[in-house]
Each structure stands twice: as structure tokens, then as C-alpha cells.
Structure 1
Amino acid sequence: MPDIKFNSGVPSGRKNKLSRKVLAENQNENEDQNEIFDFSRKIRELRLELEIRKREEERIEKDISIIIEENSGDGGEQNRTFGLAVTRLNNNMLVVENSAKQLTNTLKNISLLADTISGRVSALDEAKNRVVNCLQLAGDMRDLGVCAEGIDEAIRSEDFETASEHIHRFLTLDQAVFQIREFKDKDATDSIRHSYEVLSSAKERLSKILKARLDDAVIKGDVSEMQRFVKLFPLLKESDEGMQRFGKYINTKIDKLADDHITIMRAGGTDDERRNVLYADTLFMFFEGIAGILESNLSIMESSYGSDKILDFLFILQTRIDEFFKRLLVEFDKNRKVSTIIKQINSTLFNKNSIAQENILDPLDIDSIVAEICLMNNSVEMYGRFIGRRVGKQADEEKLDKLLNRSLVGTKMQELIGNYILIEHYYMQKSVEKAINMDLRENEELTSSIVEDTVFIVRKCIRRAAGSGNVDSVCATINNAVAMLETTVHQYLGGFINSGFSTSNFATDAIQTAMNAAYQKPKDSQQDTEKDMFLLALNNSSKMSEMLKELQKGLIYEWSNVSRPAVEKNKLEHAATQIDEIVRKLTSLAKHGIDELFKAGFKGKIKSSCDPYRDISHQLTMQDLEHFEANDPFVEAFLTTVDRLLVEHESLLYSDNYQHLLLTVCSELSRQFELILSKCQFNRYGALQLDREYRQISAYLTNVAGWNAREKCARLGLIVGLLNVETIEEAMENWQNSKTSAITTTTRPLTLGEVKKYLALRVDFPTLAINSLN
């Protein structure tokens, strides 16, 4: 027997015992499987299923046999019908194929015929063009002969118009006429050569005659003759010659116009009341005269030379206009001492230590100068717009810019505008400094004169710059104005607000001072106190910001009614928005002052007035609640104290400042009450009394400060509403609703921790239930 290996790892001594155990387990397992799976029953089920499938197969085979019998013998009619249909379809397809082939052949024939016709049409077109060219050439040859025959007679009879038309026709003939060299007919060649020589000679003679006659007319000043001959030069293709000679005549008129106005200007003008703008008036009248000259003469140039030549003609005249402007500027600088003023201003603004105090210019002395420069620039801008309209939109933009901006008038006026911006800046700066030194306050006024004086100066300078017609000068003036307000004015007002003051009896001292008589500039009066200066600067800041905002709106409205290019509109809008920055800074300065005033005169008193509330019992009975309805224990006295503080300051503050103070008081009152409530304990009746007190306070603040006061007290209202509930569940429901209400958009909502803290103030709510809230 083969060796038996025990792979189970069981020792030999335990073999029999293990074998008996395994046999017993296998026997039990077999019995269990027999109980679980019945082979006899399964075989019976399979045999039944097989019998069912056999019967189904017999039925299907029977059906197939029936169908085959129906379609065999006489039953094959359906097959024959189908075969006939297929045959007919094949026959039809053969017919279609033959028709398609015939159509293809027909199209090929048509294509060949079309190509043939197209070639013949092209040949006809070419022949037609040649015929037309020949006819045109023949016509040109005929015209050449006609012009040659009539030119001498027209010149002899001084019919220069007809002669010029002959020459014009000669110059516009097709060059092919003159390229004919050899013909079989020698007479034709000689005729063409002869006509060409006659007309070429006649052109030279006619050109000399027209030049001489036009020059003679210019010398005599015969306008009708000048207009007659100047029209003929374009016919001879000598437009430049005609413009130069006619421009010489126009320049004589410009010179005379310039001399007349210079003479009147040197004599002091015609109106003594306008001596301060003498040079601006002279420039305006000169440009008005130039516009009249151009209006009466440019129509001739436009009709004869074309609109594209107008700019070239204006360049001829610009030299004389530049010469007049140069003479005007020399006189202006000499008598207005602009160069000297610029030097003094540069020394004053940028090198203060190098100039004596007595040499500083008075802003009033240069006021008329900057106004005159603006008027001068406005005249130049008006002349430029006139030229732009006259030459039309189709004019060359580059040439037009060169004429208006790069001529002597344009460059010198830009230089003068640069000086104007500097002088205007100096005028504005020194005028405001003067207004500060002369600051006055009337008896009952809350603000001093610096507010209206400063805004008046800024408005005057900006509108004067706008009157110059130069957008860049307007933007520069606004920039300088904003910079001056941010430095000189803001520092002046901020110095008093930030200087600090004693907090003791601040309101009483301020009221007493406000009741004093009118006084001069605060820093020079012995009766004024530091607190009065604070209030005055506070009100000045608020009112000035309001007036500057109104100024900005007015400027934007005025500029919107003037038609300007989009680029200039954007510049002005951007410049105007810079005023917003100084408005914001002045408003912030005023708010800062109110905050300082509040800290000194209100914050401590509000806190001390709220403290007694903690000493009152808030665990009430029904009888206590009814008693407090008639005998208020706290609110009436508290509101009386607050109202007294507000009344004391209402007459001392500008309306915007007082409104800001009211809202600040509302915020602080709400904050102090919130702190006091956290140190008290309430029962249900005490919470009802708290709700009554809150409504009284809210109604009072709304009455004095408007609806904005409700927003400041909204968080306090949430706390009062949280305490004034029957159950903790109702409190949680109110808290959840408050998180989705409109109040939370402007008020910091209560957190769950704060809800627990305030519910814990209710002595009748269980602490365990409050702590378990989530």
C-alpha cells in the first residue's frame, strides 16, 4: 500500500479520534443536504418543462407547413406580383438612365455654344472700346484744332474766359493725342503738331497776361477785376499762382485792419470803462474783422479752386495774422507787465525767502489781468471754431491742427494760457489767505465770512477759466482749487478742531460766548475762547462742504448745456469729480469735530444719567407696574437731562452738524442702556415696564432726530423684545425672525451667546433651559 501522508498536521495519536469525528460530521452534513435539495422533484419539473417545449415546437412546425403550402402552386401569385413590379422598376430605371445621358450631351452642347457666344461678346466689347477710344481720340483731335483756331482771337479780343477754357480743354486732352508720331496721312500729323505748338505758346502768353492783369488789379484795388482774373488760374492749372496773388490782396486788407486796431489800442480804446480788457477787445475786434474779410472772399476761392484749397489759402493769410498777434502780445506784456508778474509769482510760490514781503502782489491787482487773458483765449477759440466750420468736416485734420495750434497765434496763446494758470493759482491762493486774515462773524451767524468768501473765489476762478474756452485750463484751475482747499482751508479749519479744549463746562461756556456781540477774526478777539473757535470751525467745515457740493452740481449743469467733443466732456467730468474729495474731507472734519464735542459734553453725562437705572428694582408686581404708569421712576428725568443737553447745543450748531450730533447721542444712549440692562434682573412685569420705557425713549429720539434714530436704537429694541416674552421658546422664535428681518441689514444682530446672556436676566426663566439652547 502506498504511504498515507497526513497533511493536516494532526498527531498520529489523535488520528482515530479525529477520523470518527470527521465521519460523524460528514454524515450529518449529507443528511442536511438531502433535507435541503430534493433531486426527484427537480427531475419531474424538468421533464414537464421539456414536454411543454416539444409541444410548442410541433405547433410552430405545423404553422410553417401551412404557410409553405399556401405559397406553393396557385398560392405563388404574391411572388409573381412582386417579380413583375421589380421588372417594371428595372425598365423605368433604364429609361431614366438613357434620359440622363441625353441631358448630359445637351448640356455639353449648350456649354460649348455659351463659350462661343461669350468669346464673340468679348470680342465685340473690345471692338466697342476701341471704337469709343478712336471716337474720343478723334473728338480730342477735333477739339485740339478748334482750341488752336480760337485761342489767338480770344486773347486778342481780351476774351480771357474763352481763352482760359480753350487752354483748360487743351490741358485736359488725352495724352494719346500728343503721342501720335506717324500717320499715312502726313497732313493729320502736321495739323496735330501745329495745334499743340500754338496752344502751348498761347498758354504761356495767357499766363503772363493773367498774372500782370491780376497784379495790376491788386495794386489798383479793383475788386471786380481781381475776382474776374483770380477765377481763371485754376483753368490754367496754376492754382498756387492765383492764390498767392489773391492772398497778397487779402493780406493788404489784413495789414490795414491790424494797423487800425493797433492805433486804436494804443490810444486807449473807444470805451474808458473797458480799459481793463483793452487788449482782449482789440483781439476780438480784429478776429471779427478777419471773419468778415474771409466770408466775403472765400466763396470765390471755394467755387473756383475747390474746398480742398481753402486751407492752403488760409495758410497764406496766417502769416499776417501771426504778425498782428505778435505785436499785440508785445504791447500787452509791456503795459500789463505779465513777465514781471510771472517772475514775482514764481519767487513767491517756489522761493519765498528770496523776495521781500512788500513785493508780494496783491491778488486784486492781477484779477483784471487773468480775466483779460481768458477773454483773449476765448477770442482765439471762437476764431478757430469759425475756421473749422468754414473749411468743413472733410478738411484735412492734420493741416487744420497745424494752422490753428502750431501757428504763432496757437503756440503763443498756449504759452499765455500756461502763464494764466499760474497767475490764477496765485490769485486764488492769496485771495483765500486774505479771506482767512479778514475772517469775520456776524452776531447771530453760526459760520464766519471765510465760508462764502472761499467758495466765491473758487467759483469765480473756475467759471472764469471756463469762459476762456480752453478745457485744459478749466481742469488745471479745478486741480489747483482742490489742492488749495485741501491744504490752506482744511488746515486752517482743522487746526481749531484738532487743537483740543477743556471739557469742563464746555456747553455753558459755548452758550455764553454765542450770546456775545459780533467780533472780529476769532484769534484776534480777547472775548473769544478756544471753544468758540472750535464751534465756528466745525460749522464752517460743514457749510463749506455743502456749498462746494452745490457748486459742483451747478458747474456740471452749466457744462452739460454746451455742445463739446466727447474728449472735452470726459475731461470736465473727471475734473469736476475731484471736488467730491474735498467735500468728503470737510465732511469728515466736521464729523470728527462733532465726535470730539460729543465726548466732551455728552458722553459722560449720558453715562451718569443711565447709572441710576441700575439702582431701581425691576422685579415688579402688578401693583408696581400700575404705579409706575402714573409715577415714572426713571425715563422722564432721564429724557429731561438729555433734552436739556441737546437744546443747549441746537442753537450753536449748523443743521447738518446738529443732526449728526443727534444720531451720535442716539447711538451712545442705546449703547449705554445695553450695558446697564446687562447688570439688571427682570421678572415678567419688570420686562413689561422696560418695554414701556424703551418705547418712550424711542418716541422721543424719533421726534427730535427723525426716523434715522430708530436704526441707531434697533439693537436695543431687539434686546427689549427678547426680554419681553412669556416663554423661552417664544424668545427663540423672535430671535430667529430678527435674523431675517430688515433690521439686521443696518444693525449688528444678536448672537446665540448674547441671547443666552440676556435671557438669563429674566429671573423667572430656568437657567438650565437657557444654557441648553442651541
Structure 2
Amino acid sequence: MSLSLLLEKYDVSSEKGLQKALNEIEKEEAEVNEALSNALSRSCTLEGRLRTASQAYTKLGEVKNDAQKAAEMVEKTAALARDVSAKVRQLDLARSRVAECQRRVHDLIDLQLCSAGVEAAIRAHDYETGARHVARFLSMEPGSVAAARARGAPDPRTDMERAANTLRDHLVRKLEEAARKEDDVAVERLYKLFPQIGRAEEGVDLLAKYLATQTESKIRKACTLEGASGGGGGGGGGDGGAAHADAMTRVLEAGAAGVQRARSLLAPAHALLPRALRHLQPVVCAGVRRVYMSLASARGLRAGGPGPCAGAALAAEPALNELALTHSRIQLYFAFLRRNAELESAHLSEAEKADCIESVEKMIAESDTTRTAQDILSHYLELERFFLEESVSKALRLSSAQSAQAGLTAPASPAAPAAPAAPANLVDDVFFIARKVIRRSITTGSVDGACAVLNEAAAALERSAGAWLRRRLASPPPDPLPLPAPPPAHDAPPPARTNRELDVQRSQYLVCVTPVPTLPLFNNKTEPRIGGRAGWRRGRGVRGAVGGVGERGEVQTRVLQESGLGVERRARRVAAWAGSAAGGARERCARLTQCAALLALERVSHAPDALQPAPRLSPKDARDLLARRTDFKIEEIKRLKL
């Protein structure tokens, strides 16, 4: 700190101020001495650094000179590289032009050689060599010929095109001759030359025509009916029942063989398969139409009616089976065409693949085979409707006849069970017919046909069987059975004998009701007989036995589905008989019917449906009944939601 600052900071007029200023000066002096001592201690290091810096400074001049020389050399090298690269580019351009000129010269020379080579190959009947020359001509660049024409030279393509057309005419003529001779090897060899001369589509047309001719001859042989009896008639039974379906199968197999052969030959050109199918499909359509006309004539099929073969429902069944089989064969053939189109278009682009599949679908939709399939399906649906209506009507007539016969025989034989079983038999017959019709419609391979038959079956059940059952349920209950007439007076036993018999019976009754050791043996012998007679017993005692025997005795054994079905039929008979009884009896009969329905179930999952519309059993009782079935699992019964 300077002296002026000390004088300003401290009051030096007093001794205290002078002492403070002196202390400050001493403190600064100590700091300066310490700094000097530190500087003197680093003097050796500083001298070494100064010496190193002086030596480096002397070398900076040499480094500067070397750097200037290197910069001059780099500048000269860059200028030389620019000159060399420009010359190299000029050299590459000149070389490419020379190569292009040589290629064009070679193309012109090859063009002349190809023209002469094609003519020589035609004279020598070496069509493979001629096709290679034409392929070489087609692979040439158009610029070569254009350059020759620009210089005023004659167009060399004229001779080559004329030679190519001549080769094409020879190939067409030779292929037609081989087709007439049915020389498959020559036809395939000549067809493979058409893509090389740029006439792939024309080659496909010629090959498809040849394959169509061969397929037509095979189809003509396949149309011959084997095992048919000429006229056929309405029945169509015997061994010739499916003769037309077999003929249709052979026709479609011949067409499929032609398509498969065309596909194998068109392997290099996948997109040309629809073009070949357009030539093959009319031949197949003609064969299918021929077989269909023969089928319609033999079966007496006509539009708007089931035909003469529909005199009876059973007589129409062979025709139905044959129509369903014929239609399914046509659907399988269409599926074969679609699958082949998808396989052939797998190697194409998305646009070409879509075009190929669309072409095949359009060809199938516009073909006569599709119209024939529609005619077959229409005849099948008409005949199936006739079969369904006639079969259901016959079942109704049989059920009505059984009911009438049972009504006539009921007073003479009270134990006859035919009357209550008529509705059950009707339901079984009608649903058997519906199941048979629906299963047969599925074999046609047509979803529309199956849906139409399903709707028709539902309508027939509602129209015929449903109406009959509703009328049956709405009818009044049958009259109770009359009591047997009392015996005449002259046939009555004497009073003494009657009293003795009553005493004997009373003593036997007291012995039976007394708990003696013979009671288990008696039960074991009487219970099977009671259970066997319970099905045919009639009388007022049934009302009381329904609750006891039905709820305790009948369910204390393990049963199978067959025995459960028998119990269900008996329960329905008892319920029908007790329709006019008191409310308690009806309730017990309803419970017995649900018990029998549970025992006759086909699957455990159907148990909730068997308890509808009003459950009369508790969930515990229902599970206990289901556990009686030996073919049901306990785990599935426990998982049920009742």
C-alpha cells in the first residue's frame, strides 16, 4: 500500500494511528519477503524453461521453411491431379463411345448373320437354331438399327422380320401336323420355340387348342354311362343309381387333367394360364352339359316340378343322392381351378396376381358349367322339397292311424301303450327326416343350397308337424277308462268261503307287515317285478305311485342313455294320461317328466334346457339324477349352472 493511502487511512497525528500504519507496513513487508523467497526458490526452474524456449525459438525458422516448401509441393500436386482427372474423364468417354460403336457394329453384323442364319435353319429344318437367331434379333438395342438408318443405309430389320415371319409360319404348320398325328413330344418341342420368337400368346393358343382336342376325345369317352340301364326311368335304382354322377366325375377329371398338363407346360409363363383355360373350358362345359341332359332325361327332371320320378318319397331319394353328388363334383372342379390359379400367380407381382385370379373367376362365372350347376341345384331343391313334404305327410298319416287304432283298442285292452306314444314317434320320425335332408344338402358343396334346404325344413316342420302337435295338445283329454263290470250274482262265491279267504289274506297281510328276518329277501324278489310291471299298469293307483315310485324307486339305480330314453317315453305317456287329473297329479307328472328328460340327455351341457320352461326340480335333485348316469363325469355335473 502506498504512503499516501496509509496517511489517508490512518490518523498519523496520534500515536495509535502511527502504530497501526507501522503494523500495516510490516505486514506488507513480510508478504513481499515471502514472495521474493518463493521466486528465488523457483529460479532454477525458470532458467530451465527460458533455456528450452530459446532453443525452440532457434528451430522455428527451420520449421517455417519446411512448411513453406510442403505447401508449394501440395499446390503443384493438386494442379497436376486436376489435369490428370480431366484427361482420364476424356479417356473414359472416348472408350465408352468406342465400345458402343463396336456393339452397334457387332449388332449390325449379327443382324445380317441372324437373317442368313434363320433362312439356313429353315432350309435345314433346324427350328431351334432359327429361334435362337430370332431371339438374338429381338434382344438387340433399337439404337443400333436407328443409327444405321440415320446414315442412309437400308433398314436391316426388313430381311430379319421377313425371315422371322417365315419361321413362324413353318412352326405353326409343323405344330398343326404334329397335333393331327397326336405327337405330344413334337408339340411340346415346337411350342417351346414360340416364346423365343416373341409369339408366346400365339403358342399358348395353339397348345391350348391341341389340349382341348385331346380333352374332348377323353370327355366323349367319359360321357358313356357305365352300369346304367339306358332309360333310367323314375326310380333309378339298382347298380346304375349313380351312373350319371360317375360320368360327371370322369368328365371333370379329364378336364382337370388337361388343365394340369397345360399348367406344367406353361410353367415359364405363369400369367398365360387364364388364356389357356379359355380354350379348355368350353370343351369341359360341353361334356358337363351332355351328362346333365342325360341325367335330366333319365330321371325325368323338368323345370317347375319334381318330375315323374317323384311318385313316392322313397322313389325320389336315388335321384336326390345323384343330384347332390353331381353338384359336389362340379364345385370340387371349380375349387381345383381356383387353387391352380393361385399357385400359378404366386410368383407374379400383386397387380398381375390380382388380374390372373380375376380372369379365372370371371371365366368360371361366365362358363356354361356354372349355369349347369345352377340347373342341377334347382332340380335338387325342388325334388328335396317334394321329398320333405311327402315324408312328413306320411309320418303324420302313420301317427294319425296309430292314434285311431289305439283309440279303438283301448276299451278292450287297458294296458295298450300305443296312444300316448304317437306324438313321441311323430317327433322322432320328423326330426329324423329333417336331419337326413339337411345332411344330404351339405354334401352338395353349396352353401346357398344348404341354407335353402335348412329354411325349407324349418318351414315344413312348422307348417305340418308343428301344427299337428299344437292341435294334439289343444285337443281335450281322453275319456277315463271304464270300470270293469261286476261279476254276476250266480258266479259269486259262498259267504263262508269268502270269509275264510278274507281271514287267510288278513293273516298273510299281518305276517308281511311284521318286521321279520325274511323282509329283505321278500323285497329283493318283489322290487324287480314291481318295476317291470310299473310301465304297463293303469288305474287309479298310478296317481299315488307317481310320487313314490317315480321319485324314490326309479332313480335309485344307475342308468345309461338308452334306458333313460325308455323312461322318458313312459313318463310322457303317464303325463298325457294324467292331463285331466288333479293339480297335484299333474305336478308330480311334470316332475317325473323332467326326471326322465334328465336321464335321457345326450350331453351334460343340455341339462338346463331339459328343465325349461319351469324347473320342477331343485339343483341338488337335478345333479343327483345326472350322477345316476354312468357315462357322465362328476366334474362336468358339478360345473353345471342350474
Mapped to 2, the partners of 1:434 and 1:449 lie a distance apart of 13
**CA distance change for structure 1 residues 216 and 400 in 2, over 3 Å: closer, same or farther?**
same
Pairing of 1:648-667 with structure 2 (within 5 A): 660=611
Shift of 1:135: 6.4
Equivalent runs, 1:373-388 vs 2, <5 Å:
373-388=323-338
Using the alignment, how far apart are the partners of 2:357 and 2:164 within structure 1?
Answer: 35
Instruction: Verify the 8 A CA contact 2:306 2:379 in the aligned structure 1.
Output: no
1:144 aligns with one of 106, 111, 135: 111
Query: Structure 2: how far apart are the matches of 1:515 and 1:418?
Result: 50
1:244, 1:164 → 2: CA distance?
Answer: 19
Query: Cα distance 1:602–1:180, how it changes in 2: closer, same or farther (>3 A)?
Result: farther
Which amino acid counterpart does residue 478 of structure 1 have in structure 2? L
| Alignment TM-score, normalising by the size of structure 1 | 0.48
Would the alpha carbon gap of residues 375 and 664 (structure 1) be closer, same or farther in structure 2, given more than 3 Å must change? closer
Contact in 1 for aligned 2:262/2:273 (Cα 8 Å): no
Q: Deviations over 1:275-298 (max 9, x none)?
A: 111111101012222333443453
Say which of 353, 366, 371 aligns to 2:316.
Answer: 366
**1:156 aligned to 2:117?**
no
Work out whether 1:167 is the aligned partner of 2:163.
no
Deviation at 1:183, TM superposition (A): 5.9
Evaluate the alpha carbon distance shift between residue 650 and residue 251 of structure 1 in structure 2; reply closer, same or farther with a 3 A threshold.
closer
For residues 648 and 418 of structure 1, the distance between their equivalents in structure 2, rounded to whole angstroms, comes to 44
Contact in 1 for aligned 2:175/2:186 (Cα 8 Å):
yes
The alpha carbon displacement at 1:603 in A equals 3.6
Distance 1:272 1:226, change over 3 A: farther
Determine the structure 2 residue equivalent to 1:334. Answer: 297
Structure 1, unpaired ranges of 5+ = 1-72, 75-112, 346-357, 507-511, 518-591, 607-641, 667-700, 709-744, 747-774
Deviation at 1:362, TM superposition (A): 1.8
Equivalent residues in 2 for 1:702-713, closer than 5 Å: none
Task: Give the match's secondary structure for 1:515.
Answer: coil
Q: Does 1:495 align with 2:471?
A: yes
1:199 is paired with a residue whose SS is helix
Residue 253 of structure 2, aligned match among 263, 282, 288: 288
Q: TM-score, normalised by structure 2?
A: 0.56
Residues 280 and 372 in structure 1, CA contact (< 8 A), matched pair in contact too? yes
Structure 1 residue 310: deviation in Å? 1.4
Return the alpha-carbon distance in structure 2 between the equivalents of residues 499 and 382 of structure 1.
51
Q: Find the counterpart in structure 2 of residue 302 from structure 1.
A: 267
Tell me what 2:170 maps to. Answer: 209
The offset of 1:273, in angstroms, is 4.6
Aligned length, in residue pairs: 435
How many angstroms does 1:203 deviate by? 0.9
* 1:157-236 matches, cutoff 5 A: 157-180=124-147, 189-190=153-154, 193-194=155-156, 196-236=157-197
Counterpart CA distance in 1 for 2:226 and 2:91 is 74
Which letter maps to 1:431? S
Partner SS for 1:343? coil
Q: Does 1:320 align with 2:247?
A: no
Check if 1:390 corresponds to 2:340. Answer: yes
- Deviation, 1:125, is 14
2:207 is the alignment partner of 1:246: yes
- Alignment counterpart, residue 429 of structure 1, candidates 389, 414, 424: 389
In 2, Cα distance between equivalents of 1:665 and 1:655: 17
Question: Does the CA contact (< 8 Å) of 2:306 and 2:383 recur in 1?
Answer: no
CA separation of 1:460 and 1:707: change in aligned 2, threshold 3 A: closer
Among the aligned pairs, what percent are the same residue? Answer: 21
Distance change in 2, residues 1:159/1:452 (3 Å): same
**Aligned partner of 2:242 among 259, 262, 277:** 277
Structure 2 counterpart of 1:366, one-letter code: A
1:247–1:317 CA contact under 8 A, matched in 2: yes
Q: Are 2:445 and 1:469 aligned?
A: yes
CA drift of 1:247 comes to 2.7
Instruction: Tell me if structure 1 keeps the 8 A contact 2:285–2:367.
Output: yes
Match of 1:679 in 2: none
RMSD between aligned residues? 5.1
The CA deviation string for residues 419-452 of structure 1, in whole angstroms up to 9 with x for no partner, is: 3223212212221221222236995996633233
Q: CA–CA distance in 1 between the matches of 2:126 and 2:141?
A: 25
- 2:195 partner SS: helix
Superposition deviation, residue 372 in structure 1: 1.0
The 1-side partners of 2:598 and 2:580 are apart by 15
Decide whether aligned partners of structure 1 residues 397 and 247 sit closer, same or farther in structure 2, where only a CA change above 3 A counts. closer
1:370, CA displacement in angstroms? 1.7
Whole-Å Cα distance in 2 between the matches of residues 514 and 377 of structure 1? Answer: 50
Structure 1 position 595, deviation (Å): 11
Task: Compute the displacement of 1:211 (Å).
Answer: 1.1
Task: Give the 3 Å change call, closer, same or farther, for CA 651–472 of structure 1 in structure 2.
Answer: closer
Call closer, same or farther: CA 1:165–1:266 in 2, change over 3 Å: farther
Aligned 8 A contact 2:107 2:144 in 1: yes
CA distance in 2, matches of 1:360, 1:268: 19
Equivalent-residue separation in structure 2 for 1:375 and 1:339 (angstroms): 19
- Distance in 2 (CA, whole Å) between partners of 1:470 and 1:659 is 34
Contact kept in structure 2, 1:154 and 1:162, CA below 8 Å = yes
| Distance in 1 (alpha carbons) for counterparts of 2:535 and 2:598 | 11
Distance 1:388 1:707, change over 3 A: same
**One-letter code aligned to 2:329:** S
Counterpart CA distance in 2 for 1:160 and 1:466 is 55
Question: SS at 1:263's partner residue?
Answer: coil
CA contact (8 A) 1:503 1:601 kept: no
**CA deviations over 1:581-614 (Å, ceiling 9, x no partner):** xxxxxxxxxxx999999996464679xxxxxxxx
Query: What does the per-residue CA deviation read over 1:448-494, in whole Å, with 9 as the maximum and x for residues that have no partner?
Result: 33233222222222221221111221122222222222332222222
Question: CA 1:218 to 1:664, structure 2 compared with 1: closer, same or farther past 3 Å?
Answer: closer
> Which residue in 1 is equivalent to 2:19?
none
**In 2 relative to 1, CA 136–464 (structure 1 residues): closer, same or farther, beyond 3 Å?**
farther
Residue 705 to residue 182, structure 1, CA distance change in 2 (3 Å): closer
In structure 1, how many angstroms separate the alpha carbons of the residues matched to 2:577 and 2:96? Answer: 99
Q: CA deviation at 1:252?
A: 2.4
1:403 aligns with 2:370: no
Q: Is the 2:223–2:248 Cα contact (8 Å) retained in structure 1?
A: no
1: CA distance, partners of 2:613 / 2:336 = 58
- How many Å separate the matches in 1 of 2:238 and 2:600? 44
1:535-594 CA deviation, whole Å, 9 max, x = no partner?
Answer: xxxxxxxxxxxxxxxxxxxxxxxxxxxxxxxxxxxxxxxxxxxxxxxxxxxxxxxxx999
Distance in 1 of aligned mates of 2:115 and 2:336: 46
